[in-house]
A and B are shown apart, each in its own frame.
Chain A
């Protein structure tokens, strides 16, 4: 178990994070410009197609975040690779993942209302994403329970893995549930392909790059914040001890 104390980040790390931030904001701005100004409205979907430049990238970031969180949790549980930074990474990544899952659900819903005529349909992907949202809210609740660092980290890592293992079972069972009773709904990967051409494809690609950069940037900051919180906890305890001691001396 490494008990490395969090320290101030090196100047190189600060510059790297700032460069990442600039790159993230620039690519997001470029996606907005391409998505809203340059690309034409779609033949069938009209201006609604513009939501598709952000919605799939958001969903991708959400799933990426949960994947990273599960991997970091596994590395924390594995005795040989156990280190505090894996716990912080798992927490930071899951938190960003929950935000993007929420954004995915909202943007999908806004797209679904005019396209499908309903804010919500019981599609396997949608249902799985909604359950993921609640699953990981539970995970974040476990992380927020105060307690000793190692106990909390181990508990959180196990909850993260239990949740992650559940995802394919949820998806498969919901898919069977739907396919046995109703015709497959509109959201199917091939329909995207038929709509996306030229400048639209580039905008979507840029959207993926932009949101991935935003993800890395947010996780880096959230990770750093978790480090500082832990530092504050230890420093606060030491300060309280010193105060008690000086009271005793007086």
Chain B
């Protein structure tokens, strides 16, 4: 299963390295979202800085939708999905691989967004361990739910509108917990982030487990 996961993740990341859609489209999209938040909340840094954790994570959530849509768009061309199904790879491995590739791209994006938040909103970032931990665990949860719902929506005619509707309410706990963990770290009290990191871990483990079990039947559907 893990070998299959590495194969699929390698394939997705190689396609991404060559096509650069994430770099050329998802990244700029996330930066545009950060700029728009700045415009919406005004130029006053005293208002922007306290909200920066929440704004960062909303930008990540929106970018996840694009990354997941991209991840399934590459399967829809040239009947790649049928190839994937007929490849004999373990469906659980395919799920973990695709989720892993999405997570890897999101982590790169989050690193760029962190710099963006610090520069644009004037947020003084501290508690690096908590910031990185929240990103790592939160991203696993987001990628797991995104990849699971991505396969539900892919192949359906309404996939562009269906995926955000399904995805966003389910990941509300990730937004909440990751924002609170970041808030605690930025406020210089990283100890208060512990219970929020626990929420992120439970969420990630739960949806990784559900995805591993449910992905096979869903992939067979279309």
CA separation between A138 and B170, bound complex, in Å?
A: 10
Contacts of A134 in B (CB 8 A): 165, 168-169
Contacts of B33 in A (CB 8 A): none
Chain B residue with the shortest CB-CB distance to A135: B169
Could you say which of B196, B199, B218 contacts A169, with CB atoms under 8 Å apart?
B199
B152/A170 in contact, CB under 8 A: no
Could you say which of A131, A159, A161 contacts B166, with CB atoms under 8 Å apart?
A159
**Nearest CB of B to A148, in Å:** 8
**Nearest CB of B to A124, in Å:** 11
CA separation between A135 and B168, bound complex, in Å?
A: 9
CA separation between A177 and B183, bound complex, in Å?
A: 12
What range describes how many residues of A lie at the interface?
20 to 34
Contacts of A158 in B (CB 8 A): 152, 214, 217-218
| Residues of A131-166 whose CB lies within 8 A of B | 131, 134-135, 137-138, 141-142, 145, 147, 151, 154-155, 158-159, 161-163, 165-166
B169/A169 in contact, CB under 8 A: no
B217/A154 in contact, CB under 8 A: yes
B173/A145 in contact, CB under 8 A: no
Do A138 and B169 contact each other (CB < 8 Å), given the known contacts A151-B222, A154-B218, A155-B218? yes
Interface positions of A (Cβ within 8 A of B): 131, 134-135, 137-138, 141-142, 145, 147, 151, 154-155, 158-159, 161-163, 165-166, 169-170, 172-174, 176-177, 180
Apart from A162-B149, A173-B176, A177-B180, 13 more pairs, CB < 8 Å: A138-B162, A141-B165, A142-B162, A142-B166, A159-B149, A161-B210, A162-B210, A163-B169, A165-B210, A166-B169, A166-B173, A170-B173, A173-B172
19 residue pairs A–B, Cβ–Cβ below 8 Å: A134-B168, A134-B169, A138-B162, A138-B165, A138-B169, A141-B162, A141-B165, A141-B166, A145-B157, A147-B156, A154-B218, A154-B221, A155-B152, A155-B221, A158-B217, A159-B166, A169-B199, A169-B203, A173-B173
